Amino acid sequence: MTSLNLEALFQSKIDEETKIEPKDWMPDAYRKTLIRQISQHAHSEIVGMLPEGNWITRAPSLRRKLILLAKVQDEAGHGLYLYSAAETLGANRDDLVQQLLSGKAKYSSIFNYPTLNWADIGAIGWLVDGAAIMNQVMLTRTSYGPYARAMVRICKEESFHQRQGYEIMIAMAKGSPEQKAMAQDAINRWWWPSLMMFGPKDAESSHSDQALKWKIKRKTNDELRQQFVDVTVPQAEYLGLTVPDPDLRWNEEKGSYDFGEIDWEEFWSVVKGNGPCNKQRLQARNKAYEDGAWVREAASAHAAKKEQRKLEPQLATKAA
């Protein structure tokens, strides 16, 4: 079959909603796009452990501590599900991790913002995970089978993340004046970065069209962003907190909220590495990787020795 025919066949499978599986023929660009997107997503989960992990030792109750441990652990799990999906495309996890550590690969910019008070843990669960879920629910229907299956698993687990975050926000917003101030401070800092999580405007998004055609993505950045604002604003109102956007108002005609312009300069600046914590996050991941090298090597060496010892008696018997 010519590559043109293959490509037509591939697109027809996509159009009729047949999932693409690892060994199926796929255009190189589809494979590359997926590896890039899935690994970025995996990196985001792993880097995402850091801002929240920052508060594990300071969680204010045993219940909260258990929840936070379990949540950050889930993020490591989600990272691994995703690396596993990327590996079905022929990528190698260590190569992907190297790209993260060298700064070559991107991850979600949201994790380059600091967690400064306990309500940030609530805000991350509520806003950041809420925004992530919008994207992830869409991805459970993505065209590549292993990615879609990983996302189904992740979405199932993720739903507790958002609820626990909102529960923290309720406790804080209904608590003492200091707690309420912490909650407002958190939404002030996390609102706009959460909206930025959906990426550039459709008009400026370089990968969007092809990704939609291949059904890797199924909604545009702006559609998802609007959906997020529409469901989240009433949740903020319930908490009695102010969304830090003077232009935010209900638009009766279109049945959704109008909201202000994102500070795109800030967006691109953080993407380019100048967010408040870009350096610290990468340093932390590099340190864990370097400090852990001897452990990984030792485990490999020990496994090789064990294998050798299994063989030795057999060899000895043969020799005798």
Partner 1 sequence: MKNEWPLWEIFIRSKSGLSHKHVGSLHATDAEMALENARDLYTRRNEGVSLWVVESKHITASDPNDSDPLFEPAKDKIYRHPTFYNVPDEVTHM
Partner 2 sequence: MKNYLLQLADNALILGHRLGEWCGHAPEMELDIALTNIALDLTGQARSLYQRVAELEGIGPDGTSKTEDDYAYLRDAWEFRNTLLVEQPNGDFAHTIVRQFIFDTYNYYMCRALTQSKDEWLAGFAVKSLKEITYQLRFSSEWMQRLGDGTEVSHAKMQAAIEELWTYSGELTTPNEMEKEMASKGIGVDLTNIKREVDIKMTEILAASNLTAPADTWMQTGGKDGKHSEHMGFILAEMQFLQRAYPGQEW
Binding-site ranges for partner 1 (CB under 8 A)? 21, 23-25, 73-74, 77, 80-81, 84-85, 87-88, 92-94, 146, 149-150, 153, 157, 293, 296-297, 299-300, 302-303, 306-307
Give the type of residue at 190.
W
Report CA-CA distances (Å) from 38 to 18, 81, 113, 148, 278. 20, 10, 22, 11, 20
* Shortest CB 183 distance to partner 2, Å: 12
Instruction: Return the DSSP state at 20.
Output: B
Figure out which of the listed residues 168, 196, 239, 243 binds partner 2, where binding follows CB under 8 A. Answer: 168
Figure out which of the listed residues 1, 62, 316, 320 binds partner 2, where binding follows CB under 8 A. Answer: 62
Residue 9 is a binding residue for partner 2 (CB under 8 A): no
Q: Which stretch binds partner 2 (CB under 8 A): 20-28, 50-58, 220-228, 269-277?
A: 50-58
CA 220 remoteness from chain centre: 17
Inter-residue contact 22 to 88 (CB < 8 Å): yes
CA 26 remoteness from chain centre: 25
Q: Which stretch binds partner 2 (CB under 8 A): 3-11, 27-35, 68-76, 124-132?
A: 68-76
Report CA-CA distances (Å) from 30 to 4, 27, 35, 216, 241. 15, 5, 9, 9, 43
Say which residue the tokens 């589809």 belong to. Answer: 30
Phi first, then psi: give them for residue 257, nearest 5 degrees: -85, 145
Taking CB within 5 to 8 Å according to partner kind, which of partner 1, partner 2, none is near residue 284?
partner 2
Structure tokens at 234: 């009433």
Taking CB within 5 to 8 Å according to partner kind, which of partner 2, partner 1, none is near residue 65?
partner 2
Residues in contact with partner 2 by CB under 8 A are: 46, 49-50, 53, 56-58, 60-66, 69-70, 72-73, 76-77, 79-80, 118, 168, 171-172, 175-176, 178-179, 284, 287-288, 291-299, 301-303, 305
